[in-house]
Homo-oligomer: A and B are copies of this chain.
Amino acid sequence: MSCILKIREIYSELTPTEQKIADYIMEEEVEVTSLSAAELAEQVKTSPPSIVRFARKLGYGGFQEMKLALAKDAALQDKQQDKVYEAVTIHDSTKEIIYKISKENSNAIDETVSVLDEVEVAKAIEVMTKANNINIFGVGASGLVGLDLQYKLMRINKRASMYMDSHTQLSSAIHLGKGDVAVGISHSGRTLEIFKAMETAKNRGATTISITKYGKNPLMDLADINLFTASVEKNLRTGAIASRIAQLTIIDILFIGIARKNFNEISKYIQTTREIVEDFKL
């Protein structure tokens, strides 16, 4: 565990002097690394022994050991700093674009993992595995994500319908019922067509799953199960860059979760698909 975290944890049971030391370390985390026990004592207006006792209380062998732990913390923090990337500018070289875009996409994945509720994912996998019919709704970039999900499900003999236009979406939604599942994909969670189709599906008794950005929005309010993506989007205000990667990561998780449940059958299907597709290869 990180040193700072340890400090926070036992802060309340520290003596006044120790709390003063804790305050200083939490404030000046990095600087402490280059201080001696006596110097630190001077900063905090206390004595070297108190510093050593403090280090011991945190579970370290002594001040020296605590300093090493703080250095490690700082290193990881620096690493974290790499995440603070900037948007691409007109003056960026190709190299910089490659770096920034890849970072942005990586971050989208990491942050999505941190907002994704594991219980909701498990529920989604459960209902999709048991579903009679699966309907997927999405338009624009989210539509492509929906197609991806449909295509993946098809490979494991799990039929799903995916509609990108509003009329077909509503026509299809109206025939859903109990035991069916509707998946609505919309980054904003405010896409009118998707909302209407999902509303219809829900009224008909289908279980509804939303894939939207994190935060309150009409679609997640409506849906039974909510899967969130991180909402970062920095580049050129174009939208649909990092958000799509995040959505696809959720799709992958759902797919693998469903595929895993009946692994043996499924690997047979995949093998067959694979062999047939191979015939078309050079």
Tell me if A88 is interfacial: C-beta within 8 Å of chain B.
yes
Q: Are A113 and B94 in contact, CB atoms less than 8 angstroms apart?
A: no
User: In chain A, residues 189-240, which have Cβ atoms closer than 8 Å to a Cβ of chain B?
Assistant: 190-193, 195, 218, 235-240
Stretch at the interface among A13-21, A50-58, A114-122: A114-122
Contact residue among B74, B152, B280 (Cβ-Cβ distance under 8 Å from A240): B152
Tell me if A248 is interfacial: C-beta within 8 Å of chain B.
yes
Tell me if A131 is interfacial: C-beta within 8 Å of chain B.
no
Q: Are A236 and B97 in contact, CB atoms less than 8 angstroms apart?
A: no
Tell me if A101 is interfacial: C-beta within 8 Å of chain B.
yes
Chain B residues positioned under 8 Å from A235 (CB to CB): 256
How far, in Å, is A138 (CB) from chain B's closest CB? 12
How far, in Å, is A79 (CB) from chain B's closest CB? 6
Stretch at the interface among A38-46, A141-149, A171-179: A141-149
Tell me if A10 is interfacial: C-beta within 8 Å of chain B.
no
Q: Are A88 and B256 in contact, CB atoms less than 8 angstroms apart?
A: yes
A113 to B92, CA, bound (A): 16
Least CB separation from A188: chain B residue: B281
User: In chain A, residues 84-127, which have Cβ atoms closer than 8 Å to a Cβ of chain B?
Assistant: 88-90, 92, 94-95, 97-99, 101-102, 105-106, 109-110, 112-113, 116, 118, 121-122, 125
Contact count band on A: 35 or more
Tell me if A245 is interfacial: C-beta within 8 Å of chain B.
yes
Tell me if A6 is interfacial: C-beta within 8 Å of chain B.
no
Q: Are A237 and B267 in contact, CB atoms less than 8 angstroms apart?
A: yes
Q: Are B98 and A102 in contact, CB atoms less than 8 angstroms apart?
A: no
User: In chain A, residues 261-280, which have Cβ atoms closer than 8 Å to a Cβ of chain B?
Assistant: 263, 266-267, 270-271, 274, 277, 280
Q: A106-B110, A148-B244, A248-B248 are in contact. Are A191 and B281 (CB under 8 A)?
A: yes
A179 to B74, CA, bound (A): 52
Q: Are B94 and A102 in contact, CB atoms less than 8 angstroms apart?
A: no
Tell me if A158 is interfacial: C-beta within 8 Å of chain B.
no
Q: Are B98 and A116 in contact, CB atoms less than 8 angstroms apart?
A: yes
A206 to B104, CA, bound (A): 32
Q: Are B144 and A252 in contact, CB atoms less than 8 angstroms apart?
A: no
A to B CB contacts below 8 Å, 5 in the list:
A69-B71, A97-B253, A98-B113, A98-B116, A144-B147
